[in-house]
Amino acid sequence: MQIIYWLILALMLVGIIGAVVPAIPGSSLILIAIVIWGIVSGSFAAIKIPLIVTVIVLLLSIGVDFLASYIGAKQAGASKWGQIGAIVGLILGFLGLLPALPFGGPLLGMLIGPLLGAIIGEFIYRRELWPAVKAGIGIIVGSIVGNLIQGLLAVAAVVVFLVTTWPQVFGA
pLDDT tens column, 23-52: 677 888 888 888 888 888 887 777 788 888
Helix (DSSP H) and strand (DSSP E) numbers for the chain: 6, 0
pLDDT over 70 (residue 1):
yes
Indicate the Cα dihedral angle 76, 26, 100, 98, nearest 10°.
Answer: -90
Q: What are the extents of the domains in the chain?
A: 2-170
3-state secondary structure of 24: coil
So what's the pLDDT on residue 136?
A: 79
Cα atoms in the 13 Å half-sphere on the side-chain side of 26:
28
- Determine the Cα–Cα distance for residues 80 and 122; give it in Å rounded to an integer: 8
Question: Does position 99 have pLDDT exceeding 60, yes or no?
Answer: no
Q: How far apart are CA 106 and CA 21, in angstroms?
A: 12
Residues 6 or more apart in contact with residue 105 via CB below 8 angstroms: 96
Q: Give per-residue pLDDT as tens, 106-131.
A: 666 777 777 888 888 888 887 888 87
Q: Does the global pTM surpass 0.75?
A: no
